[in-house]
Every structure is written in structure tokens, then in C-alpha cells.
Structure 1
Amino acid sequence: MRYAAKVIKDNRSRILDDWESRVKEEIPAAVISSDLVLRNQLSNVLEDITHIMNRYDGYLEVNEKDEYQEIIKDSLDHGRHRATASHLTVKQILKEYLIFHRILTGLLIDKQVYTKEVGNILKYALETAMLTSASAYNDSLQEMREKLIGTLAHDIRNPISAAYFALDVIKPEDDIERIENLKKMGLRSLKKSLDLVEGLLDAISVKAGEGLTLNFIETDVVKEVRWVYMEAKEIYTHSFNFHCSEENIIGIFDPTAIRRVIENLVTNAVKHGSRNTPINISIEAEGEYAVIKVKNWGKPIAKEDQLEIFNFLKKGVNRQEFNGDGWGMGLTLIKSVAEAHGGEVVLESNLDHGTAFYVRIKRYAQKPGKVRTELKYSEN
């Protein structure tokens, strides 16, 4: 048994090379998805198998003891990772393991170390890994759908509240200009609500690795940022500052998605920032990029959480701080929208300089039309 484990350990690179080659031949999604790092969790599963073989001499002993749990953790990570890999299905994930099993079995037979006991342990370990990965994949995909829908449903509240406010404050004795302005505000908010409802229906059909569908058009992004700023001043009791040295910044953007990005950041700034200092919103042109910044003062985000905060699927994040009424999935969507615009989102947070989110979006990263965003699983 231990010699079989040594053979696997000594041939680790060969096993993974053969497996990766076979997977790319037999599973089209492995080639299509450029972000799929095929070796990541399977490499750990391989190491788990050698550890199990080193500890036990037979199938029954493994079955009776609860010391094979390490393979559950790594196959759980494998399933969660695959849920963010485009085009993959449960069937394809299981096929990954079947290919893995065949390659391991073939190597051990070739090296003349394959026995009934070795085969039992290999079969038992990989069956455990397959069941765990498939379950984790399904759970993660369902979690993505639920959180996408929940985030959209939550975001619909803001424009509906703004429309309600506009209609509620109109009085018969108001002058025509005020009535027209409030009417425009209400209509814009209701239109935005309808756009979000469309996104809500779209989220129900989300597949592995997918986020929301964005609709890119040529527009002035300064107009969108200023619109959120004006609406925030009406809705919240906090004070806000807005700065932009550009008259306009034209590019191919999804205006609804950009507004949602800023609204999420503003909502978080209101929720987690100090009430005694203003929230600053700004947008500037930097070459081929537009950079949107939302800054607040208050308790900073812990340094160890600053990378994890953008990945709702990652385990180990301070759940009390970042779930429920915390940061939730909104930042994951912000990251997805920024990347769909050929950009990124950067967080700076400390006690001396406050908390600032920078959303860099490329002005012409896309052509007009619809594009599905991607939800990626960060290894950081």
C-alpha cells in the first residue's frame, strides 16, 4: 500500500499532465474557459490519496475510521471553484474524476503495484471526492442564483423609493418647473426599476460561471454618476460631495450597471461609514479609462478581509461582518461589472485615510450589445 502511494507521489507531474491532456480532449469546457485552472484542487486531491494510502492497509479500515476528511475539504473546494467556471456541468465534473481514476489505475497497474486493497482505497476516496464536488457545485450554483436575485431585489428598492418620494412630495400648488423635475425623477426611477426587473428574471437562468447580462451602449458615464449623487442627496440624511473636472466622459458602458455599482458603494458607505463626515463621490478620466471613486470615513475594513470581501464564495471571510446586512454579494457584482468593462475595482481602507473604492472602467472595452458577466473564484 505504501509503495503504491510512493509510486503516485513520484509520478505526480506525469499524472497531472496526462489528466490535464485527457480532460481537454474529452471535456470541451476545459478548453473554452480560459480562467479554469485545471490542476488547482485536483493536485491537492492527489496528495490526499497518497496520505490515505500511507495510513491504511485496506478498504474496511478506511471506511471504519474518520481520518479521510482531508479529501472532503479539497474536493469541496474543487466543486465550488468549478461553479464559477463557464460552461461546466455536474456531468463534466464527475467525468474529470473518472478520467483521474483511470489514469491512476493505469499507472499503478503499469508499475505492478495495483492490488485489490489499493483499488478499494482508490475507489472509495474518489467516490467520496466525486459526491462532495458534485454537491458543492450544485450548492454553490444555487447560492449564486439566490444571492444574485436577492441583490437585484434589494437594489430595486432604491429607485422605487425615489419614485415614491417624487410622487409623494408633489403638491397642486407647486410651480410647473418643480412638478416637471419631480415627474422626471419619478419616471427615471421607474424605468430603472423595470431594467432591474429584467435583470431579476435573467438571474434565474444563471449557469456556472455566469453573472448578470450587461447591455452596452455609447453613453456619458459622468451623467450616470451625477444622477446617483443627486438621488443619494434626496434619499439619505448623510452629506455628500461630488467632484468631476470633466464635462463628460463618453464611452461604451452599461449605464444601468454603472449606476448600480455606484449605488451599492454609496449604500455601503452610508451603512458602514461615519455619520459625521461627508461621503465623497468623484469621477475622472485617466487616458482610456474612467475612474469612479466613493470614499467614506469610519471603521476601516480589516486588512486580511480586503481581498476576500469581493468573493462571496470564498470560505473564511468574517461572516458576521460581511453577510446579511453587511457587504454581501454587492461587491462581487461590482467586481464583475468592472471586469466586464475591461477594468478593475481597488479597495483602500485604513484608519488614517478612510475607506475608498476605486472602480476603473475602460471606455471602449466592449462593443454595443449584450454581454454576460463572469463570476470568478479567487484563490487569494
Structure 2
Amino acid sequence: MTAASQLITDKSSEIMDLWASRVKKNIPAANESSELALRNQLTNVLEDLADIMDRYDGKSDVDEYESYQEIIENSLEHGRHRATSSHYTIKQILEEYIIFHRVLTELLIEKDVYTKEVGIVLKYSIETAMFNSATSFSDSIQEMREKLIGTLAHDIRNPISSAYFALDIIRHNDDKDRLDNLKKMGLRSLNKAVELLEGLLDAIAVKAGEGISMNFEEIDILKEIRWVYNEAEEIYTNDFVFDSSVDEIKGVFDGTAIRRVIENLVTNAVKYGSRDTPITIRIEEDQDDVLIEVQNFGNPIAKQDQNDIFKFLNRGHENQNSTLDSWGMGLTLVKTVAQAHGGKVDVVSNEKEGTTFSIHLKKQANKPGKIRTELNYSKN
């Protein structure tokens, strides 16, 4: 068993190279990933396998050997990664492991270190990895779907509430101008709710590596941001400041998605911020980029939570934080939309400066048309 373990350790690069070439030949989705992303956690699974073989003493029942637990973490991580890689399916993940098993078996036989015991340990190790990767993949896809649906469902409440408010305050003796304004407010909010419902239906069909569908067009994005500002002033009792040194910012954007992003940040600012200080929406432009900031004062986000707040997939049950989860539902959307525009999102939060979410967007990162966004995986 030690000879097999040593061979796997010595030939790990060769094993992974052969595995990668066969996977690319047999699994279409593998060709969509970079070499580093393709190998992902499989290199660590291979190291785990060598360690299991090295320590197996031959006395324990191989199907109940506790050291198989070592391989679980990396195989779970492998499944989560594949869930954020385009076009993967459970079938393709299992095929990856079948190829992995065959490459190892062929090498061990060729070097004359394959025994019945080695074969059984190899079989149970890879079966354990297959089971956990497939489970993690399915759970992650379901989590993506639930988060996207949850975000959309959460966002639908605002326009429906606005429409309800417009209808509720209509009085039989209102003058024509007031009735027209309330009608416009209600129709605008209901149209927005219909847009979000279409996105909700779209999110139900999400697949591996996919996020929300977005529709890019040449627009003035400042107009969309000002729309959110005007609506926020109508809905909330907070004071708002709109700070922009330009009158228009044209580029290729998804206006609906940007509106939803700003609405989420404004809603969070109202929910978690102080009512005694204004919420500021600030916009800056240079030749190729747009910077949008939403700032509020109040209780800051803890320093240790500021990196975790944008994570898409779960952080593990032991790290669940209800405050982070509450923030994170909308921030999942914020990060996805920013990245789809070739940009990023940052947060600075402390007692002195308040909490500022900064969204960086590229004005010409996309061509006009509809696309399904991809989810960028990050273990950290």
C-alpha cells in the first residue's frame, strides 16, 4: 500500500496531466474552463488519496475506514466549484471521477503496485468523493436558484408596495393633476413588478455557472439612477442627497438591473442606517468607467464580515450569520450585476465614514443584446 501511495505522490503531475487531457476530450464543459479551474480540487483529492493509502494498516474494514473523511472537504469543494462553471451537469462530474479512477488504475497496474487491497481502497475513496461532489453540486445549484428567486421575490415587494400606496391615497375629490401623478406612479411600479416577475420565472431555470439574464442596450444610466432617487424620496421618510456633476452618462448597460442594484443598496441603507443623517447617492464618470456610491451612517458592518458579505455560495452552517444573510440576499445581485458590466463592488464601513457601497462599471464592457450572466467562483 505504501508503494502505491508513493507512486501517486511522485507521479501526481503526470496523473493530473493525463486526466485533464482525457477529460477535455470526453467532457464538453471541461473545455470552457481554464487549466487551473479544471483541476480545481482534484489535485487535493489526489493528495488525500495518497495519504489514505499510506496510512491504511490493513486491519480495519476498508468500507468503514474512518480516514475516508479526509477526502470529503475537497470533494465537496470540487462540487461547489463545478456548480459555478458553465454547462456542467452531475453526469459530467461523475464522468470526471470515472476517468480519474481509470487513469490511476492504469498507472498502478503498469508500475506493478496494484493489488486487490489497493483497488478496494481506491474504489471506496473515489466513490466517497463522487458522492460528495455530486451532492455538493446539486445543493449549490439549488442554493443559487433559491438565492436568485429570493432576491427577485424580495425586490418585487417594493414596486407592489408603491403601487398599493398610490392606490390607497387616492381620494374621490382629488384634482386631475394629483390623480394623474398617482396613476403614473402606480403604473410605473406595476410595470416594474412585471419585469421582475419575468426575471423570477427565468431564475427558476438556472443551470450550472449561470446567474440572472440581463438585457444590455445603449442608454443614459444617470436617468435610471435618478429614477431610483426620485422613487426613494416618495417612499421613505429619510433624507436623500443626489450628487452628480454630470447630466448624462451614456454607455451599454442593463438599466433594469442597475436600478435594482441601487434600490437594494438604498433599501439596506434605510434598513440599517441612521434616520438622522441623509443617504447619499453619488455618481462619478471618467472616460471609460462609472462609479456609483451609496452612503449611509449608522451601525457599521463589522470588519471581519466585510469580505464575507459578497459571497454567493454558502459559508457553511457553522458560519451562518443572520445579519450577513439579510444583507447578502441583495448583495448577491449587486456583485453579479457589477461583474457582468466588467466591474466590481466594494464596501467601506466604519463609525467615522459610515457605510459606503461602491459599484464600478465599464461603460462599453458589453455589446447590446440579452445574455445570461456567469457566476464567478471564489473560495475565499
Corresponding residue of 1:207:
207
Alignment of 1:92-131 (within 5 A): 92-131=92-131
The yes-or-no answer on 1:188 pairing with 2:174 is no
Q: CA 1:55–1:291 in 2, change beyond 3 Å: closer, same or farther?
A: same
Give the secondary structure class of the aligned counterpart of 2:327.
coil
Q: Which runs of 5+ in 1 are unaligned?
A: none
Q: CA 1:234–1:140 in 2, change beyond 3 Å: closer, same or farther?
A: same
CA distances 1:271-328 after superposition (whole Å, capped 9, x unpaired) = 22223222111112122111111111223223333222212314255423212xx113
Q: CA 1:35–1:65 in 2, change beyond 3 Å: closer, same or farther?
A: closer
Corresponding residue of 1:239:
239
Corresponding residue of 2:322:
320
d(CA) in 1 for partners of 2:171 and 2:108? Answer: 83
Report deviation, 1:59: 8.7
Corresponding residue of 2:25:
25
Corresponding residue of 2:379:
379
Report deviation, 1:236: 2.0
Which shows bigger deviation, 170-179 or 69-78? Answer: 170-179
Give the secondary structure class of the aligned counterpart of 1:70.
helix
Preserved contact between residue 30 and residue 36 of structure 1 (Cα < 8 Å):
no
Q: CA 1:222–1:59 in 2, change beyond 3 Å: closer, same or farther?
A: farther
Give the secondary structure class of the aligned counterpart of 2:8.
helix
Report deviation, 1:57: 3.4
Report deviation, 1:370: 0.5
Which shows bigger deviation, 75-84 or 275-284? Answer: 275-284
Preserved contact between residue 68 and residue 128 of structure 2 (Cα < 8 Å):
no
Which shows bigger deviation, 105-114 or 312-321? Answer: 312-321
d(CA) in 2 for partners of 1:8 and 1:377? Answer: 29
Give the secondary structure class of the aligned counterpart of 1:312.
coil
d(CA) in 1 for partners of 2:270 and 2:36? Answer: 37
Q: CA 1:205–1:53 in 2, change beyond 3 Å: closer, same or farther?
A: same
Report deviation, 1:256: 0.9
Report deviation, 1:75: 0.7
Corresponding residue of 1:358:
358
d(CA) in 2 for partners of 1:156 and 1:59? Answer: 60
Percent identical across equivalent pairs? 63
Corresponding residue of 2:251:
251
d(CA) in 2 for partners of 1:334 and 1:78? Answer: 25
Corresponding residue of 2:150:
150
Q: How many residues align?
A: 378
Q: TM-score by structure 2 length? A: 0.94
Letter of the structure 2 residue corresponding to residue 4 of structure 1: A
Report deviation, 1:199: 0.4
Give the secondary structure class of the aligned counterpart of 1:214.
strand
Computed over aligned residues only, the root mean square deviation of the Cα atoms, in angstroms, reads 1.8
Q: CA 1:34–1:223 in 2, change beyond 3 Å: closer, same or farther?
A: farther
d(CA) in 2 for partners of 1:186 and 1:254? Answer: 23
Q: TM-score by structure 1 length? A: 0.94
Give the secondary structure class of the aligned counterpart of 1:37.
helix
Corresponding residue of 2:300:
300
Q: CA 1:35–1:119 in 2, change beyond 3 Å: closer, same or farther?
A: closer
Q: Which runs of 5+ in 2 are unaligned?
A: none
Q: CA 1:109–1:35 in 2, change beyond 3 Å: closer, same or farther?
A: closer
d(CA) in 1 for partners of 2:274 and 2:267? Answer: 13
Corresponding residue of 2:277:
277
